[in-house]
Amino acid sequence: MSGYIYPNEVELQWGLLIVVYPYVTGLVAGAFILASLERVFRVKAVEPTYRLALLTALAFLIVAPLPLLSHLGHPERSFEIFLTPNVRSAMAMFGFVYAWYLMVVLLLEIWFDYRRDLVLWARSERGPRRWLHYLMTLGATDLSAKSLQFDYNAGKFITLIGIPSAFLLHGYVGFIFGSVKANPWWSSVLIPIVFLFSAIVSGIALVLVLYVFTSLVRSKPIDMVCLDKLASFLLYALIVDFSLEMLDFIHRLYEAEESISILSELVSSRLFLSLVVLQVLIGTMMPMLFLVLVSPAFARKGLVPASEELRRMVYFGSAILIQIGIFSTRWNVVIGGQLFSKSLRGLTVYKMQMLGPEGFFMAAGLLLLPLVILYVLIRILPPWPEAAAPPREASS
């Protein structure tokens, strides 16, 4: 602790759980936007990851409100935002955005995409799985060409609605931080945009990791055309995200307001490890360089092409590093914005607890829980191409 600090500024109000919350919602938005590339923009190369991306978005969306509920002293009071809605509160409106995205967007799109397979699975299976899949059809067992075409058109329409909904789901988080005028670390019109692009980066990276990992676990060959396309989209999104962050940083330097000195001290001391080392060097520059070096696009321009095994390893490692960088970004925004005094004359410290409702193990559990839910969803709704019923069976 250094400088002039008021007594009520020593303890940070938002801790590790509030760091986890925007990180998880970013993964939801990014995974859904990746899925929309195949359905809306007809990028057939990423089709093997379409259903996996949808289930990943659903698994993380289910967990998304839990960090906020765990942070509250009385989480049961969260239902009051539905009973007494305040349309002027950005935080209160999250409940409605969440309900819209879960019930209308994700669940409906997954249902329309899986309905045909659910019907065929229910016809061919035995035991509890048969009844479970039949219940999930909601009684809609018509497999005529007209019905299947309606499913496809409805799913595409929902995806079109889901893209701006995904932007709204995660963009409002950046909107909340960016609208705090009294905090110079948060107050920026670029914060919502930076949050959106970092969400796209984290979502693509997560699906890439899951696709490679699940393929290896199932001893299935990895579609390198799909993996190369995922890596190229990841590289492009990472470049745009890093450019926006640098633009925001340069803009702050150019403005040179009275807060620039305390922010410079904050970056050079309290946030040096998490911002300069983890976010910029390890989480951005290194994976960006690795992806460029093994990219097939650069190999076609005269460089030595990387082997498939090397590309898989580099893609997987880069995606892991990107996840570290994006989590560090959320840490730097949430925690970093509370480490300097309102008088702009001193810095405080954040001491992370290991136990308790705001501790490390609680946050780690909330980060692992979506993976457990995803495993259950994959067991019920296999997203693999070989698990889908053959098209010829639909007419029988």
> Would the CA dihedral through 108, 110, 112, 117 be positive or negative?
negative
Say what the pLDDT of residue 392 is: 46
- Mean pLDDT in order along the chain per 10 residues (396 residues): 68 86 92 90 91 95 90 79 78 79 88 94 90 93 93 92 84 80 81 90 96 94 93 94 91 79 87 94 95 77 70 95 96 90 82 86 95 96 80 45
Say what the pLDDT of residue 228 is: 93
Structural contact between residues 156 and 39, judged by C-beta atoms closer than 8 angstroms:
yes
The 10s digit of each residue's pLDDT in 24-79 is 999 998 999 999 988 888 889 999 999 999 999 999 999 998 998 888 877 777 77
CA angle 148, 152, 153 (to 5 degrees): 115
Q: Which long-range contacts (CB under 8 A, 24 or more apart) does 85-93 make?
A: 90/172, 90/175, 90/176, 90/179, 91/176, 93/172
Q: Considering only CA atoms, which of 3, 99, 41 is closest in space to residue 345?
A: 3
Say what the pLDDT of residue 390 is: 62
pTM of the full structure:
0.91
State the DSSP string of 141-203: ----HHHHHHHHHHHHHHHHHHHHHHHHHHHHHHHHHHT-TT-TTT--TTHHHHHHHHHHHHH
Domains in the chain: boundaries = 16-179+354-396
Say what the pLDDT of residue 307 is: 83
C-alpha Rg value of the chain to the nearest Å: 23
Backbone angles phi, psi at 195, to 5 degrees: -60, -40
The partner residues of 347 in beta bridges, in order of sequence, read 2, 340
Say what the pLDDT of residue 98 is: 82
Say what the pLDDT of residue 394 is: 43
Say what the pLDDT of residue 83 is: 81
The 10s digit of each residue's pLDDT in 184-206 is 888 888 888 888 999 999 999 99
**What tokens does 168 get?**
């709204």
Say what the pLDDT of residue 166 is: 83
Backbone angles phi, psi at 3, to 5 degrees: 85, -160
